[in-house]
Protein backbone atom coordinates (compact mmCIF):
# COMPACT_ATOMS: atom_id res chain seq x y z
CA UNK A 1 0.00 0.00 0.00
CA UNK A 2 2.82 2.38 0.84
CA UNK A 3 4.40 1.66 -2.51
CA UNK A 4 1.11 2.36 -4.28
CA UNK A 5 0.74 5.64 -2.39
CA UNK A 6 4.25 6.70 -3.42
CA UNK A 7 3.50 5.86 -7.02
CA UNK A 8 0.33 7.92 -6.96
CA UNK A 9 2.12 10.94 -5.49
CA UNK A 10 4.75 11.08 -8.19
CA UNK A 11 3.76 13.72 -10.75
CA UNK A 12 3.46 12.50 -14.31
CA UNK A 13 6.28 13.27 -16.64
CA UNK A 14 5.69 16.21 -19.11
CA UNK A 15 6.10 15.30 -22.75
CA UNK A 16 9.33 16.66 -24.12
CA UNK A 17 9.35 18.64 -27.32
CA UNK A 18 11.82 17.47 -29.88
CA UNK A 19 15.04 19.35 -30.02
CA UNK A 20 15.04 22.32 -32.38
CA UNK A 21 17.93 23.49 -34.42
CA UNK A 22 18.86 26.87 -35.76
CA UNK A 23 17.58 29.90 -33.81
CA UNK A 24 15.82 27.91 -31.11
CA UNK A 25 17.78 27.08 -27.82
CA UNK A 26 17.08 24.67 -25.05
CA UNK A 27 15.56 25.74 -21.74
CA UNK A 28 18.07 26.18 -18.86
CA UNK A 29 16.12 23.69 -16.80
CA UNK A 30 16.03 21.12 -19.62
CA UNK A 31 12.44 21.83 -20.57
CA UNK A 32 11.37 22.97 -24.02
CA UNK A 33 8.92 25.81 -24.69
CA UNK A 34 5.65 24.70 -26.26
CA UNK A 35 5.61 24.94 -30.05
CA UNK A 36 3.68 27.99 -31.34
CA UNK A 37 1.58 27.97 -34.49
CA UNK A 38 2.83 30.24 -37.20
CA UNK A 39 0.83 33.44 -37.73
CA UNK A 40 -1.59 33.26 -40.65
CA UNK A 41 -0.47 34.99 -43.73
CA UNK A 42 -2.45 38.13 -44.58
CA UNK A 43 -2.80 38.92 -48.25
CA UNK A 44 -2.73 42.61 -48.80
CA UNK A 45 -3.94 43.76 -52.16
CA UNK A 46 -1.98 46.87 -52.72
CA UNK A 47 -3.00 49.08 -55.54
CA UNK A 48 -0.58 50.86 -57.63
CA UNK A 49 0.32 54.24 -56.33
CA UNK A 50 -0.69 55.81 -59.62
CA UNK A 51 -4.38 54.67 -59.35
CA UNK A 52 -5.46 57.26 -56.81
CA UNK A 53 -9.11 57.21 -55.60
CA UNK A 54 -9.97 54.02 -57.52
CA UNK A 55 -10.80 52.24 -54.26
CA UNK A 56 -13.93 54.47 -53.74
CA UNK A 57 -17.58 53.54 -54.65
CA UNK A 58 -18.34 54.93 -58.14
CA UNK A 59 -21.95 55.79 -57.12
CA UNK A 60 -20.77 57.65 -54.04
CA UNK A 61 -18.37 59.69 -56.10
CA UNK A 62 -21.21 61.15 -58.21
CA UNK A 63 -22.79 64.54 -57.50
CA UNK A 64 -25.59 64.14 -54.83
CA UNK A 65 -27.57 67.02 -56.34
CA UNK A 66 -27.83 65.06 -59.56
CA UNK A 67 -29.75 62.28 -57.80
CA UNK A 68 -31.97 64.85 -56.07
CA UNK A 69 -32.84 66.38 -59.41
CA UNK A 70 -33.55 62.96 -60.89
CA UNK A 71 -35.86 62.10 -57.98
CA UNK A 72 -37.68 65.41 -58.34
CA UNK A 73 -38.38 64.94 -62.06
CA UNK A 74 -39.45 61.32 -61.54
CA UNK A 75 -41.93 62.37 -58.86
CA UNK A 76 -43.15 65.26 -61.01
CA UNK A 77 -43.73 62.91 -63.95
CA UNK A 78 -45.65 60.43 -61.79
CA UNK A 79 -47.76 63.29 -60.40
CA UNK A 80 -48.64 64.53 -63.89
CA UNK A 81 -49.59 61.03 -65.01
CA UNK A 82 -51.78 60.61 -61.92
CA UNK A 83 -53.51 63.94 -62.58
CA UNK A 84 -54.15 63.02 -66.22
CA UNK A 85 -55.72 59.72 -65.19
CA UNK A 86 -57.86 61.45 -62.52
CA UNK A 87 -59.07 64.12 -64.96
CA UNK A 88 -59.87 61.51 -67.60
CA UNK A 89 -61.84 59.51 -65.04
CA UNK A 90 -63.81 62.58 -63.94
CA UNK A 91 -64.57 63.55 -67.54
CA UNK A 92 -65.78 60.06 -68.31
CA UNK A 93 -68.00 60.05 -65.21
CA UNK A 94 -69.39 63.49 -66.07
CA UNK A 95 -70.08 62.43 -69.66
CA UNK A 96 -71.84 59.28 -68.50
CA UNK A 97 -73.98 61.25 -66.03
CA UNK A 98 -74.80 63.85 -68.67
CA UNK A 99 -75.85 61.15 -71.13
CA UNK A 100 -78.00 59.45 -68.50
CA UNK A 101 -79.64 62.77 -67.58
CA UNK A 102 -80.31 63.57 -71.23
CA UNK A 103 -81.88 60.15 -71.70
CA UNK A 104 -84.08 60.61 -68.63
CA UNK A 105 -85.15 64.04 -69.83
CA UNK A 106 -86.05 62.57 -73.21
CA UNK A 107 -88.10 59.79 -71.63
CA UNK A 108 -89.62 61.65 -68.69
CA UNK A 109 -93.20 62.85 -68.46
CA UNK A 110 -94.28 66.48 -68.66
CA UNK A 111 -97.68 67.66 -67.41
CA UNK A 112 -98.52 70.73 -69.49
CA UNK A 113 -101.40 73.05 -70.23
CA UNK A 114 -102.09 72.30 -73.88
CA UNK A 115 -104.76 74.96 -74.29
CA UNK A 116 -107.70 76.82 -72.73
CA UNK A 117 -111.38 77.18 -73.49
CA UNK A 118 -112.99 80.55 -72.88
CA UNK A 119 -116.39 81.23 -71.33
CA UNK A 120 -119.11 82.95 -73.35
CA UNK A 121 -118.50 86.69 -73.87
CA UNK A 122 -118.85 88.48 -70.56
CA UNK A 123 -121.63 90.71 -71.85
CA UNK A 124 -123.62 87.51 -72.26
CA UNK A 125 -122.69 86.23 -68.80
CA UNK A 126 -123.87 89.24 -66.80
CA UNK A 127 -126.84 88.49 -64.69
CA UNK A 128 -127.12 84.89 -65.89
CA UNK A 129 -123.80 82.96 -65.76
CA UNK A 130 -120.68 82.72 -63.65
CA UNK A 131 -117.70 83.17 -65.97
CA UNK A 132 -114.89 80.67 -65.80
CA UNK A 133 -112.12 78.90 -67.71
CA UNK A 134 -111.42 75.36 -68.88
CA UNK A 135 -107.81 74.17 -68.83
CA UNK A 136 -106.82 71.42 -71.25
CA UNK A 137 -104.22 69.32 -69.42
CA UNK A 138 -101.99 66.95 -71.36
CA UNK A 139 -99.26 64.52 -70.33
CA UNK A 140 -96.35 64.47 -72.77
CA UNK A 141 -93.27 62.24 -72.96
CA UNK A 142 -92.59 58.51 -73.09
CA UNK A 143 -93.32 57.60 -69.46
CA UNK A 144 -96.31 58.10 -67.15
CA UNK A 145 -96.63 60.71 -64.42
CA UNK A 146 -98.07 60.43 -60.93
CA UNK A 147 -100.24 63.42 -60.03
CA UNK A 148 -99.42 64.58 -56.50
CA UNK A 149 -101.51 67.74 -56.12
CA UNK A 150 -103.64 70.17 -58.15
CA UNK A 151 -104.73 73.68 -57.21
CA UNK A 152 -106.68 76.25 -59.22
CA UNK A 153 -108.32 79.63 -58.77
CA UNK A 154 -110.49 82.01 -60.84
CA UNK A 155 -111.50 85.36 -59.39
CA UNK A 156 -111.97 89.11 -59.95
CA UNK A 157 -109.18 91.32 -58.58
CA UNK A 158 -108.85 95.13 -58.56
CA UNK A 159 -106.36 96.98 -60.73
CA UNK A 160 -103.14 98.30 -59.26
CA UNK A 161 -103.85 101.94 -58.32
CA UNK A 162 -102.21 104.36 -60.76
CA UNK A 163 -100.75 101.65 -63.00
CA UNK A 164 -100.39 102.52 -66.69
CA UNK A 165 -101.43 100.46 -68.48
CA UNK A 166 -103.67 98.98 -65.82
CA UNK A 167 -102.41 95.74 -64.25
CA UNK A 168 -104.16 93.27 -61.95
CA UNK A 169 -103.31 93.49 -58.27
CA UNK A 170 -102.18 89.98 -57.32
CA UNK A 171 -100.10 88.63 -54.44
CA UNK A 172 -96.35 88.03 -54.99
CA UNK A 173 -96.95 84.40 -54.04
CA UNK A 174 -100.13 82.85 -55.43
CA UNK A 175 -102.82 81.68 -53.03
CA UNK A 176 -105.09 78.84 -54.06
CA UNK A 177 -108.50 77.93 -52.71
CA UNK A 178 -109.72 75.23 -55.04
CA UNK A 179 -108.27 71.82 -54.16
CA UNK A 180 -110.89 70.03 -56.24
CA UNK A 181 -109.25 68.45 -59.26
CA UNK A 182 -109.94 66.32 -62.27
CA UNK A 183 -107.31 63.77 -61.24
CA UNK A 184 -107.34 61.79 -58.04
CA UNK A 185 -104.44 61.99 -55.63
CA UNK A 186 -101.58 59.71 -56.74
CA UNK A 187 -103.32 58.98 -60.04
CA UNK A 188 -100.97 57.52 -62.65
CA UNK A 189 -101.53 59.35 -65.93
CA UNK A 190 -100.01 57.99 -69.11
CA UNK A 191 -98.88 60.00 -72.10
CA UNK A 192 -101.63 58.88 -74.46
CA UNK A 193 -102.12 62.22 -76.20
CA UNK A 194 -105.48 62.75 -74.48
CA UNK A 195 -106.47 66.21 -73.24
CA UNK A 196 -108.25 66.40 -69.91
CA UNK A 197 -110.50 69.42 -69.42
CA UNK A 198 -110.46 71.01 -65.96
CA UNK A 199 -113.22 73.61 -65.51
CA UNK A 200 -112.75 76.40 -62.94
CA UNK A 201 -115.61 78.86 -62.26
CA UNK A 202 -115.23 82.36 -60.87
CA UNK A 203 -115.40 82.63 -57.09
CA UNK A 204 -117.75 85.64 -57.30
CA UNK A 205 -120.48 83.54 -58.95
CA UNK A 206 -122.89 85.07 -61.43
CA UNK A 207 -121.43 88.19 -62.99
CA UNK A 208 -123.27 91.36 -61.99
CA UNK A 209 -123.69 94.41 -64.19
CA UNK A 210 -121.42 96.67 -62.02
CA UNK A 211 -118.74 93.96 -62.10
CA UNK A 212 -119.02 93.79 -65.86
CA UNK A 213 -118.59 97.57 -66.18
CA UNK A 214 -115.49 97.55 -63.96
CA UNK A 215 -113.99 94.72 -66.00
CA UNK A 216 -114.70 96.50 -69.24
CA UNK A 217 -113.11 99.72 -67.98
CA UNK A 218 -110.08 97.75 -66.59
CA UNK A 219 -110.76 98.95 -63.07
CA UNK A 220 -110.68 95.25 -62.23
CA UNK A 221 -109.57 92.04 -63.94
CA UNK A 222 -110.78 88.46 -64.20
CA UNK A 223 -107.76 86.22 -63.64
CA UNK A 224 -107.28 82.47 -63.46
CA UNK A 225 -104.21 80.52 -62.38
CA UNK A 226 -103.21 77.10 -61.15
CA UNK A 227 -100.48 74.69 -60.15
CA UNK A 228 -100.05 70.96 -60.86
CA UNK A 229 -97.44 68.99 -58.92
CA UNK A 230 -96.37 65.53 -60.06
CA UNK A 231 -93.56 62.98 -60.12
CA UNK A 232 -92.11 61.40 -63.21
CA UNK A 233 -91.22 57.73 -63.66
CA UNK A 234 -87.69 58.39 -62.36
CA UNK A 235 -88.95 59.82 -59.06
CA UNK A 236 -88.11 63.43 -59.91
CA UNK A 237 -90.48 66.22 -58.87
CA UNK A 238 -92.21 68.23 -61.55
CA UNK A 239 -94.35 71.34 -61.29
CA UNK A 240 -96.41 73.30 -63.80
CA UNK A 241 -97.73 76.76 -62.94
CA UNK A 242 -99.84 78.89 -65.27
CA UNK A 243 -101.52 82.28 -65.29
CA UNK A 244 -104.28 83.72 -67.49
CA UNK A 245 -106.02 87.08 -67.62
CA UNK A 246 -109.24 88.01 -69.40
CA UNK A 247 -108.72 90.72 -72.03
CA UNK A 248 -111.44 92.49 -73.99
CA UNK A 249 -110.99 92.89 -77.72
CA UNK A 250 -109.87 96.42 -78.51
CA UNK A 251 -110.35 98.39 -81.70
CA UNK A 252 -112.00 97.09 -84.80
CA UNK A 253 -111.84 93.61 -86.22
CA UNK A 254 -108.73 93.00 -88.35
CA UNK A 255 -108.74 90.26 -90.98
CA UNK A 256 -106.33 88.93 -93.58
CA UNK A 257 -107.09 89.05 -97.33
CA UNK A 258 -108.52 85.55 -97.16
CA UNK A 259 -110.89 86.54 -94.35
CA UNK A 260 -108.91 85.10 -91.41
CA UNK A 261 -109.40 87.18 -88.28
CA UNK A 262 -106.13 88.63 -87.03
CA UNK A 263 -107.27 90.64 -84.02
CA UNK A 264 -107.93 88.43 -81.02
CA UNK A 265 -111.39 87.99 -79.65
CA UNK A 266 -112.23 88.80 -76.07
CA UNK A 267 -111.09 86.05 -73.78
CA UNK A 268 -108.34 84.71 -71.54
CA UNK A 269 -104.72 85.27 -72.54
CA UNK A 270 -101.76 83.33 -71.21
CA UNK A 271 -99.22 85.62 -69.58
CA UNK A 272 -95.96 84.99 -67.73
CA UNK A 273 -95.95 86.33 -64.19
CA UNK A 274 -93.18 85.84 -61.59
CA UNK A 275 -94.28 83.19 -59.12
CA UNK A 276 -97.28 82.24 -61.26
CA UNK A 277 -95.62 80.76 -64.36
CA UNK A 278 -93.20 77.82 -64.10
CA UNK A 279 -92.46 74.50 -65.79
CA UNK A 280 -89.95 72.04 -64.36
**pTM confidence score:** 0.60
Maximal CA-CA distance, the chain:
172
Whether pLDDT at 108 is above 70: yes
Whether pLDDT at 39 is above 80: no
For 201-242, the pLDDT digits (tens) are 999 899 999 999 999 999 999 999 999 999 988 888 999 999
For 155-198, the pLDDT digits (tens) are 999 999 999 899 999 999 999 876 666 776 667 887 777 778 88
259: left (phi over 0), alpha (psi -120 to 50) or beta: left
What is the DSSP code string of 168-182? B---SS----B---S
Whether pLDDT at 4 is above 80: no
Residue ranges and CATH numbers for the domains of the chain are 107-249+260-279 (2.60.40)
What is the mean pLDDT of the segment spanning 237-259?
Answer: 81
Strand duo 132-141 + 220-231: pairing: unpaired
Measured CA to CA, the distance from residue 26 to residue 55 in angstroms comes to: 49
Under the banding of pLDDT at 50, 70 and 90, the label for residue 119 is confident
**Contact of 263 with 249, CB cutoff 8 Å:** yes
What is the mean pLDDT of the segment spanning 16-41?
Answer: 48
For 74-103, the pLDDT digits (tens) are 888 889 999 898 888 887 777 666 655 565
Question: Number of C-alpha atoms within 13 angstroms, CB side, residue 180?
Answer: 7
Mean residue pLDDT across the chain? 77
**Contact of 202 with 155, CB cutoff 8 Å:** yes
Residue 153 or 46, more confident = 153
What is the mean pLDDT of the segment spanning 23-29?
Answer: 45
Q: What is the dihedral of CA 41, 45, 50, 54, to 10 degrees?
A: -150
* pLDDT value of residue 252: 56
* pLDDT value of residue 5: 41
Residue 29 or 94, more confident = 94
Degrees to nearest 5, angle at CA 248 with 242 and 249: 115
The whole-angstrom distance between residue 24's C-alpha and the CA centroid of its chain comes to 102
Beta bridge partners of 269: 245
* pLDDT value of residue 184: 67
What is the mean pLDDT of the segment spanning 255-272?
Answer: 76
Helix ranges restricted to H, 130-263: 209-216
B/e letters for 8-24, b = 16+ CB within 10 Å, e = fewer, are eeeeeeeeeeeeeeeee
Phi, psi of 135 (to 5 degrees): -95, 130
What is the mean pLDDT of the segment spanning 25-53?
Answer: 49
Amino acid sequence: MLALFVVLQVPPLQPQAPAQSGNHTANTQGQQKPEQSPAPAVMVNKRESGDKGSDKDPVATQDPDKWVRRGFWINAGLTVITLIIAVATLLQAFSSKKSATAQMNADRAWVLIHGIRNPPPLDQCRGTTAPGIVYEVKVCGNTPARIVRERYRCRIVPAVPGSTPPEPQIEPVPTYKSEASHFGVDDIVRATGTHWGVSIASESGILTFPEFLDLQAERSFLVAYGCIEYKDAFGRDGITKFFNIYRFASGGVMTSPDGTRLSPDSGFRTENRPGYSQTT
